[in-house]
């Protein structure tokens, strides 16, 4: 022994291990990229795959890393979709249709999207629509009835609520304020 400390890479056997752990190793880079992206927010498998492709990780390496992350539960598109629906419906008041559209853009499979949006029943969706209209109603006072209707129904439409539900909820809110709603269906 020469008295010097042996470092990884000093022996011929450890040079291979060092190369495998180097930042140049595509699998290690892919793992590091995925872990960094998952640290801030949950992501779908497609979002991570897109990020790896953008960083020029070979497809077969990306597939292997993503499958392993899925196996250990770090990627779970079903859980992601369920949490997304709950959060965006509660926080932003989005309806099933808008939530499904957002999940599609994130690459969630249609069956998982359907399962997630089915968490919201039509009663809960309508109750949220009523809350949204109540919050916005005050800001429309002073406008003529048709303009109020368009603004309120338009706000619900942008959030993905069906037209029939939007009109019914707005009409009921306007009636509760004493507004005459005769002929509203024809004027819209």
Percentage of the chain surpassing pLDDT 70? 83
8 A C-beta contact, residue 53 and residue 62: yes
5 lies in some domain: no
Q: What is the pLDDT of residue 184?
A: 56
Same-domain check for residues 113 and 170: no
8 A C-beta contact, residue 27 and residue 65: yes
Q: What is the pLDDT of residue 28?
A: 93
Rounded to the nearest 5 degrees, what angle is found at the Cα of 162, between the Cα atoms of 158 and 165? 115
For 39, what's the count of Cα atoms within 13 Å in the CB-facing half-sphere? 7
Residue identified by tokens 């997630």 is 116
Distance of alpha carbon 10 from alpha carbon 27, whole angstroms: 24
Task: Tokens for 152, please give them.
Answer: 């309120």
Distance of alpha carbon 46 from alpha carbon 77, whole angstroms: 9
Same-domain check for residues 135 and 112: no
List, for residues 151-177, the tens digit of each pLDDT value. 999 999 999 999 999 999 999 999 998
161 lies in some domain: yes
8 A C-beta contact, residue 112 and residue 77: yes
Instruction: Provide mean pLDDT across the span 134-151.
Output: 90
Same-domain check for residues 136 and 183: yes
104 lies in some domain: yes
Query: What is the domain count for the chain?
Result: 3
Same-domain check for residues 158 and 140: yes
8 A C-beta contact, residue 160 and residue 97: yes
**pLDDT tops 60 at residue 121:** yes
8 lies in some domain: no
Of 8-22, 98-112, 151-165, 166-180, which gets the smallest average pLDDT? Answer: 8-22
pTM over 0.85: no
Same-domain check for residues 28 and 66: yes
4 lies in some domain: no
Higher pLDDT, 180 or 6: 180
Same-domain check for residues 49 and 29: yes
Average pLDDT, the chain: 85
Residue 140 gets which letter from DSSP?
A: G
Domain termination residue (choose one: 42, 71, 100):
71
Domain range enclosing 43: 20-71
**For residue 7, what are the CA distances in angstroms to 13, 67, 148, 187?**
12, 33, 74, 81
């Amino acid at each position: 022994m020469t008295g010097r400390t042996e470092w990884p890479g000093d022996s011929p056997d450890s040079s291979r291990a060092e190369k495998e752990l180097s930042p140049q190793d595509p699998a290690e880079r892919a793992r590091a990229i995925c872990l960094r992206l998952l640290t801030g927010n949950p992501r779908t498998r497609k979002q991570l795959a897109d990020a790896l492709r953008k960083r020029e990780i070979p497809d077969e390496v990306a597939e292997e890393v993503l499958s392993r992350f899925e196996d250990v539960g770090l990627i779970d598109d079903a859980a992601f979709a369920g949490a997304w629906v709950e959060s965006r419906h509660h926080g932003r008041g989005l309806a099933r249709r808008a939530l499904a559209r957002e999940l599609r853009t994130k690459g969630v499979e249609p069956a998982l999207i359907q399962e997630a949006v089915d968490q919201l029943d039509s009663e809960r969706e309508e109750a949220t629509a009523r809350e949204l209209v109540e919050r916005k109603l005050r800001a429309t006072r002073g406008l003529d009835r048709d303009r109020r209707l368009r603004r309120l129904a338009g706000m619900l439409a942008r959030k993905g609520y069906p037209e029939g539900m939007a009109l019914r909820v707005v009409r009921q809110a306007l009636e509760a304020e004493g507004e005459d709603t005769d002929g509203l269906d024809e004027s819209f």
